Every structure is written in C-alpha cells, then in structure tokens.
Chain A
Amino acid sequence: MHNFEYAAPASVADAVAALAKPDAKVLAGGQTLLPTMKQRLAAPTQLVDLRKVAGLAGISREGDAVVIGAMTRHADVAASPLVHDAIKGLGALAGLIGDPAVRHRGTLGGSLANNDPAADYPAAVLALGATIVTNKREIVADDYFKGLFETVLGEDEIITKVKFPIPEKSAYEKFRNPASRYAMVGVFVAKSKTGVRVAVTGAGSSGVFRQKEMEAALAANFAADAIKGVKIAAANMISDLHGDADYRAHLVGVVARRAVEASA
C-alpha cells in the first residue's frame, strides 16, 4: 500500500469537498478498495471515509419503496425484517454476499459504485428497477450500469441511498463461483404490477444485464416452465477458468428457472 491522506468528514458536503483533491477516493466498507490498494493496483492519494457521514446508513420504508442508505452493510440488509417482508429476494441476496466478515463491512453503495460484473447487488437493483440517489441526482437502474466496473457516477459523485420499489414477488438465485464465491451466475427475478424483470449478474461479458425474452415469457406466465424454451446465446457470456461461455449461458437458464420457482 502506498501512503495516502485520510479524511473522515461528517457530512456529504464535506465529503464532496474532500473528493475534490486529485486522486481522491471514497472509502466505504473497504472490502474492495483496501485489497486493491494493498496489492498496489490502486493508489489513491486521498481517502474520504464515509463512515462518519450522518444519515448514510439505515433501512426504511417510504411508501411503495424500501430505501436503503448507501453505507448500510450487507449484514444489516440480510438481517432486516423490513427488507425480508417487503422484498424477500433482496434480503436473501444480501445474506449470500461473501462471508460474515465481508458482510459486516461491505456496503450497498460500495458494491454499486464498484459494479463488479460478479457482484450480487447489481442484479437486484436492475431487476427491481431501483433508483440510485446521489448527492447530485437520481439515476434509474436502467441508466446506471455501464459495463465492467463502470457506472455513470462522476468523480465527485457519492451514492447516498437506493430506493427499491416493492414487488409482488421476488427471488435471487446464486450460482457461486467455486473459488471466490462471487456470483458465477446470479439471477434476480421480480414480479410487480408493471411486469416482470429478470436481471443476470456474473455471466455477462459487459456486466449485469436484463434478460428481456424471459421477462416477456414470465409476464405472460410466471412459471419456471415458461422460460424453458428461452435460448441464451453464449456470445456475450464471460469465459474463464471456472466455466466457459456455453456453461454460463446454460446456467443462466437453470438459475433463472430456480429463481422463478423460489419467488415469494
């Protein structure tokens, strides 16, 4: 790890100010950022720790949405009765991230800002049609993700919270990478009054994506069998040590069907 300056501001405004320094980076749970710094793959000169910023953590219900603060840890989402009652798939997803140590440090905002193609939360955000709220604007999920580790966030933009509309039914099914236990294929299925959304993480070579054929088939008939015939092309799938594109394409179908079956 290289040397860096450390700031722990108390407000979003102060955090944004601190971010103005060159090569500054937000520090949330540190579960991605710190390992990359230790490996010297990242070397920010200024860390802006969000832990002391008031109002960034917490879970609440606001009308037809569950609102989760950016600094809310995975473990708190996983343990929240509010989340489980409202969006079952989301609570389950949080409990499947990493291991207990990771879940007690890693945050929703950090995961979304990082947008690892194998991360779990992006599938929930996209399938639920969530809205990402930053210090500057509100971004709907469909506009937010921009490929591998890329989002529309600006350099000085901080995620403050995420608004998840409450669906009728939801489920997240995760096929873990055997080594890292990140998602090799993760499918989030959400059924709401406006339709069905299916988002796939872990598999796509440009990150999380919606599977619209499945969405259409499930809108007509919300049953696992309804998507049995949907062919998943291997062309845009990740191929690596753990599985080639054919395997991932196949798994998308299997995991999606299991997610539909598990939806509640």
Chain B
Amino acid sequence: MSATGLGASVKRTEDIRFITGKGRYVDDINRPGQAHAYFLRSQHAHATINAIDFAEAAGSPGVVAIFTGQDIAADKVGGLICGWMIHSKDGSPMKAGAHPALAQGKVRYVGDAVAVVIADSYAKARDAAEKINVDYGVLPAVTDLKKAVGAANIHEAAPDNTCYNWHLGDKAATDAAFAKAAHVTKLDLVNNRLIPNAMEPRAAVGDYDSGTDTMTLYTTSQNPHVARLVLSAFIGLAPEHKLRVVAPDVGGGFGSKIFIYAEETICAWAAKKIDRPVKWTADRSEAFLSDAHGRDHATHAELAMDAQGKVTGVRVHTLANMGSYLSTFASSVPTYLYAPLLSGQYNIPAIYAEVDAIYTTTAPVDAYRGAGRPEATFVIERLMELAARETGRDPAEFRRQNFVTTFPHQTPVIMAYDVGDYAGALDKALIHADYKGVAARKAASAAKGKLRGVGFSAFIEACGIAPSAAVGSLGAGVGLWESAEVRVNPIGTVEILTGSHSHGQGHETTFAQLVSDRLGIPLENVAIVHGDTDKVQMGMGTYGSRSGAVGMSAISKALDKVVAKAKKVAGHVLEASEHDIEFKDGKFTVKGTDKAIDFGSVALQAYIAHKFNGQELEPGLKESAFWDPTNFTFPAGVHICEVEIDPETGIVNVERYTAVDDFGKLINPMIVHGQVHGGIAQGIGQALMEGAQYNSDGQLLTASYMDYCMPRADSVPSFNVDTIETVCPSNPLGIKGCGEAGAIASPPAVINAITDALGHEDIAMPATPAAVWKAAQKRPMKHAAE
C-alpha cells in the first residue's frame, strides 16, 4: 500500500480550504446586478388564500418585483414533483397532491411559501414583505399522525389524507408463522421527526443570460444533474442544454439537499422574469421550517419465535408522516428503503409489512441520513432485544443464533444479501465493549445510585443504490448509475469528472487516492471536478452511501479504459505489442525487457501522436464510463452502547460506544471512521435529544436551537470504532459504503441500553432527561427470565 493509495488514511486535502475560510459556497457567489429574494411564508398550518394585497409592499423602497402563485401559474411553471411511484395494495397509484413552488389558493404548513419579494437588498425585500397583507381563511391543522385519516382534508387528490396504503411480503405465510409461534414480542414504536440542520443552510442564485438565453442556477445540491433534469423536464424552466446547475462547496446535506425545493426553483425562474440575478440564502429559522424533515413513523411491530429461540416471523404496520406535500423522493423512504431491511441480519422466513403514508399539515418529510433504513433497524433491533429479554436469552447470543450465515441469502423482502460475517463483527464488538465486564460495571453504578444498561444493534443497510433496472421496477423515476470521465492532460496530470457530489464526504481526497493508486501518480497531480452540469455531463449525485460503491466504480471503469488506451500508446512508443505491455506503479514496461516509459510521457505521446497512426489509434487520452451496479451493497455491523442513568435527574450518559462495521474494502480508514463518528453522534442525537414538535395548531415548537436540541461534542463519549472486512462482490472496488451506518445503527443501540438500565420498555425517542426521569419512576416490570 502506498502512502496515498487505496487503504491509506490520507488527510483530507480539501480541508485546508474549508478551515481557512476559502471554501466557496453558494452564499459566497455574487453576480453583477443581483437582486435578493425574501419568501413570505404562511404562518398558518392550513388555510385558504383568499387574497394577497401587495400594493403597499410593491411601492416599498428597493422592491424590484413581487410574485405569487398566480404568476407562476400564468407562466406555466410546473409543480414540484415526487420521482418515485408507489402503488397501494389495491394497485392504485399513490395520491400526490399538487405542489406549486408558490402556494396557489391554499397553504398546507407553517412555512409554505406564499409570495416572493425581490428587492435590491435582502433587508429591503424583507421590509417590503412585512407590508404584504394576505387574507387567509384558516382551516383546521392536522398534526397528529394517528388522527390524520379522519381529519380535515389537505389535498383534494388524497382522500383521508392518505397518499398510499402499501405492503410488502407474504401476509398469509407471516400470519401462519405467528399462529404457530411459541412466543410473540410486541412493540409500539415512534421514530421521531428530525430536522436535518446541515451547517450551511440552503441557498440559491439564479442567473439568466438573455444574450444566449441560458439560465444558471447556483444551488446547495447533493445532485445538481438531478436538479437540472427536474427543473428542465418537469418544472419546465429551460431545456437542459440551456440550463446549467452548479453546486459548489456545499456544507453538509444529510439528504436534505437532494430535493428540488420551491425557493431554488423560484430564484432561477425569477432571474429570467426580471432579467437580473436573484439570490436567496435561508436563515436558520427558515431552515427549521422549510427543509424537508426526516423519519416520523409510528409503528406497531411484532416478532414471532419458536421454542428454541429461532425467529420465525416479523409483522409490521407503520404510519409514515409525509408532511404536507410529497417531496422529491419521499414516497420511497417508508417503502422500498424501509421494509426490505426488516429482515435485519437475520434468517427470518416470513415478513409482512404494511405502510400507510399520511399527509399532515407539517413540513414535507423525505430522506434523511439513512432514509428508511434507520427506521427499519430501529424496529428490528428493538424487537430482537426485547424478544431476548422476554425469553431470558442473552441479546448477543440470541442475535447470533438467528444470524444469516450462508451467502447469498434471499430474504422474504426483496433483498439478496451478497456477503457478510455477522458473527465476526459481533465477536469483535463484544471484546471491544468488554461485555464480560458489564455485570461488574452495573454493580459499580448501582452502588452510586445509578442505573447502567447495555444495548445492541446489529444493523444492516442496503446502500450503493442501486441497479437501475431494479429500482425502476420498484417505481423509481430515474436510473441510479453513476458516471465518470477521466481526462489525462498532456503532461500526465489528471482531471476526474464525477457525477457524485461531495458535501463533506471528502471525495477530493478519496477519489484522488483511487487515481493515484491506479495510475501511480502523486495525489497532487489529480483534480476532482464535480458539481457543475456544464463540466460533468451527467450524474446521479450523492446520497444512500453511494459515492464510493457507485461513483468510484464508474471512475474505476473509466480508468481501466485509460490504462488500456495508454498501453496501446506505450506499445507504439516502446515498439512492442500492446499485449506485452505491463503497467505498474506508474510505469509501462515491455514484458521481459528493461524498456520502460512513465505515465506522463505516455500521456504526452498520446497527445502529440507522433509515434502512431492517428487513423488507427485516436490521439488523446480521455475516457468516460457509466457504472450501473449489479446489486445493492450491504454494509452491516454490530454496535454496542453502554449508558449510565442518573435516576434523580434523568440524565443519560453514554459511557461507552463500540462499533464494529463491515464496509468491505476501505479507501481511507480515517475518513471512514469520521463518517462513522458523525453518524453515531447523529444517532445519539436522535435517541436522546432531537425531535421536531408541532403543536395542535401546526406551529413548529422546535423552530430554533433554543428548543431543538442538537448533539454537541460533549454529548458523546470517545467512540471505539473498528471494522471487519468481507469484500463486496458487486463492484470492482469491493466497497460497501459507510456514510449512513452510524446514524442507522445507533438509535436502537442507545434505546436498548436505556431500557436495559430502566428494566422496562416504556421510553420513546428522544429520551430526554425529563422523559427518562419519568420512566425511572416506574417500577421495572420483570422480564420473564429475571
């Protein structure tokens, strides 16, 4: 292994610019003559818009234009779309209510954009917006997921506020398994609603060039090409060849920047309308209100087992809150990204899941780090832990007994697990966590009047999404391949153009490591180009832990082509057959001779084309590739959390946190660990602190950091993170992806630890001090074995 090649913990080269303030984010972009947008948002959760009076606002100093839903309707601006079709049990298509970028006739959540004021400065736009008078006809808010079906109708197109009633699995076989079960474990679970809180809020600059009739949108996007596709093909802003989308440095996304939102759309549209660049940067309050939220499930789950402790069936009914509108990929999250993971790491013969997707008058809900898989992991890992406790089994050994051990393994819910070593991760995790010492540590805590508990989470996720034909058959509106282009310059430096997008993941380092490794050139001779539809032809972007498994595989494939071509060039230069050329460590050699030429010289020869016939071999050295994966990848691992609770205050201290993950091959272990650390912190946040709350009027109560609690550095212990490796067979690099694992695995580990400490199951996320104190007042119900 070289110091900069695959498997080396190279320091992130991009960090120099980030930590010295040289990052270039959307808000850093200013275009000549630019005007500023301010969005007037509904303060009602549900209301008709009877009239909007902006006469006074229009005369306010500096105002350039004010637009409402009527203007975008008149211009035939298409509505925001959901790109994944789900069919209900009865075969009917999901019911997606229209989602205009500016409300038309009705508002459906607090924060819904009603009008945009464009002025010479942001302050002037905001001043003017205060003078707009909207005559609302207030309708009842619908915020309780469990009561939404019979409540006031939000979308005419969706009776009973139901988007779909979907199911997966074999109901009859599952019911039969439950009928025969020796023991059934039942749980009611809430997966709390989260607000993404990327460090950089969303922002956009729309820039229209009337000379060339081209539109440029600078935007905080995880997938600029998908944004261009949607803005062009569905919303109809401009044809693709006249629309450039640039996502420069982006300060975190966690899923929330996948989606095509109203504000970005309006900035681009309005720029053409007023023939001036239009800029908008969300403030933090707007981010709380209008970024797509995550999770928000209410689930009843059951697990059946036989007398020997073998799990025989899982049955799940989930209510999924979609919020007020169906966001870009919202429909896929509680369906195909969720239920297919309910088999966990276990050999479970029968699984049946029903999901009712429900509208409420709250912010739209869509993919958030893990997207569906954290929800599934929470269900199965809470069930497994409780089933073990109820039947007097050790939770680790109960899991081990049910692990899938032979591969490939077809689950009853779509997925074909390709490879894994679940017991291997468990064994290592038990050692790292000093599981043997738990009893002594529990006793020591008890002596101090504290409660100590240990919780497991043996998670699996389906990542690297995904084979295009497979997702197409499940309803996806797009293919989920990735593209790459390798441009070798005449002196042998290399530019990689990738459709993946880095917004914290460190692609500029890891992707360059791959190139350095394969071409034997120094890291600094490689540039990673991404995030600009004018530079990179096409791409599907970054989410679902796919940039390594899919994005780098595309680069790998293109590099193969470059090497093949370079061998031909080298053959001509070295006067040997291309079949006798070997390429290693940046040198082309002729087999069995000492004739050699380095990569840079071959590149130069490819461009000067003196040594070969340009009709037989094309000059130049540039190749591209599209990689379509052959399967999902299946990162898996075992996380063990140990907490100590102060029953007097309800404070939960995460004392130890062990993670042993299998991500296949690692490109850069330091970055992988960083991803895991961040994910665990986020999951601890979900388990202990975070939770969006609306009141019954639909007002967001957790609308700032005064009330929405984010994990801080001192909320988490030093993590004990390790890996095992089974090589992923479905991509050339053998990698599975690591971006979401921590956030997927950790919430059930934390809650299982808390319930172990409490001796009962009656605690919901977030397990805040107040909630844990209340729970600690309850006398533990004795588990069967105790």
A: residues with CB less than 8 A from B are 1-2, 39-40, 175, 178-180, 241-244, 247, 250-251, 254
Contacts and interface: CB of A to CB of B under 8 A. Distances in A.
**Which one of A40, A179, A247, A251 has the highest number of Cβ atoms from chain B below 10 Å of its Cβ?**
A179
A182 to B, nearest CB: 8
Contacts of A179: 689, 702, 705-710
A107 B465 CA distance: 53
A215 to B, nearest CB: 22
B648 A178 contact: no
A239 to B, nearest CB: 10
A40 B648 CA distance: 40
Nearest to B648: A254
B274 interface: no
Interface residues of B, number: 23
Interface in B621-671: 648-650
Contacts of A250: 773
18 contacts: A1-B123, A2-B127, A175-B769, A178-B709, A178-B769, A179-B705, A179-B707, A179-B710, A180-B707, A241-B701, A241-B707, A242-B770, A243-B769, A243-B770, A247-B650, A247-B770, A247-B773, A254-B648
B768 A242 contact: yes
Nearest to B690: A179
B222 to A, nearest CB: 27
B770 A244 contact: yes
Q: Which of B689, B707, B770 has the most CB of A within 10 A?
A: B770
B709 A247 contact: no
A180 B693 CA distance: 16
Contacts of B702: 179, 241
B183 interface: no
Interface string B769-783: 110011000000000
Interface in B54-101: none
Nearest to A175: B649
B410 interface: no
A62 to B, nearest CB: 37
A180 B285 CA distance: 15
Interface in B656-713: 689, 693, 701-702, 705-710
Contacts of A175: 649, 769
A2 B126 CA distance: 9
B183 to A, nearest CB: 36
Interface in B704-732: 705-710
Nearest to A257: B648
A49 B356 CA distance: 57
A251 B708 CA distance: 21
Nearest to B130: A40
Contacts of A180: 705-707
Contacts of A244: 770
Interface string B260-300: 00000000000000000000000001000000000000000
Nearest to B702: A241
Contact of A178 (B123, B701, B768, B774): B768
Interface string B754-786: 000000000000001110011000000000000
The listed residue with most A CB atoms (<10 A of its CB), out of B702, B705, B769, is B769
Contacts of B648: 254
A173 B650 CA distance: 16
Nearest to B126: A40
Given A179-B689, A247-B773, 6 more contacts: A40-B130, A175-B769, A178-B769, A179-B708, A179-B709, A247-B774
5 closest Cβ pairs, A-B complex: A179-B709, A243-B770, A180-B706, A178-B709, A247-B770
Contacts of B768: 178, 242-243
Contacts of A243: 768-770
Nearest to A180: B706
Contacts of B650: 247
Contacts of B706: 179-180
A254 B649 contact: yes
B649 A251 contact: yes
Contacts of A247: 650, 770, 773-774
A254 B693 CA distance: 28
B689 A178 contact: yes
Given A2-B127, A179-B706, A179-B707, A39 B285 contact: yes
A188 to B, nearest CB: 18
Contacts of A242: 707, 768, 770
Contacts of A39: 285
A242 B689 CA distance: 10
Contacts of B773: 247, 250
Contacts of A40: 126, 130
Nearest to B705: A179
B113 to A, nearest CB: 18
A40 B127 CA distance: 10
Looking at B123, B127, B706, B708, which has the most chain A CB atoms within 10 Å of its CB? Answer: B706
Contacts of B123: 1
Residue of A175, A178, A180, A242 ringed by the most chain B CB atoms within 10 A: A178
- Looking at B123, B705, B768, the one whose CB has the most chain A CB atoms below 10 A away is B768
A247 B770 CA distance: 6
Nearest to A255: B649
Nearest to B715: A178
Nearest to A182: B706
Contacts of B709: 178-179
A3 to B, nearest CB: 8
A216 to B, nearest CB: 23
Nearest to A118: B706
Nearest to A99: B712
A99 to B, nearest CB: 9
A241 B127 contact: no
Contacts of A1: 123
A241 B689 CA distance: 12
Contacts of B127: 2
Nearest to B123: A1
Identify the interface centre among B123, B702, B710, B773: most chain A CB within 10 Å of its CB: B773
A23 to B, nearest CB: 17
Nearest to A253: B648
B199 to A, nearest CB: 16
A170 to B, nearest CB: 22
A72 B770 CA distance: 35
Contacts of B701: 241
A25 B501 CA distance: 47
Contacts of B649: 175, 251, 254
B700 to A, nearest CB: 11
Interface in B198-228: none
B533 to A, nearest CB: 35
Nearest to A248: B770
A104 to B, nearest CB: 18
A242 B702 CA distance: 10
B163 to A, nearest CB: 29
A244 B650 CA distance: 13
Give the residue among B285, B649, B705, B710 with the most A Cβ atoms within 10 A. Answer: B649
A242 B768 CA distance: 8
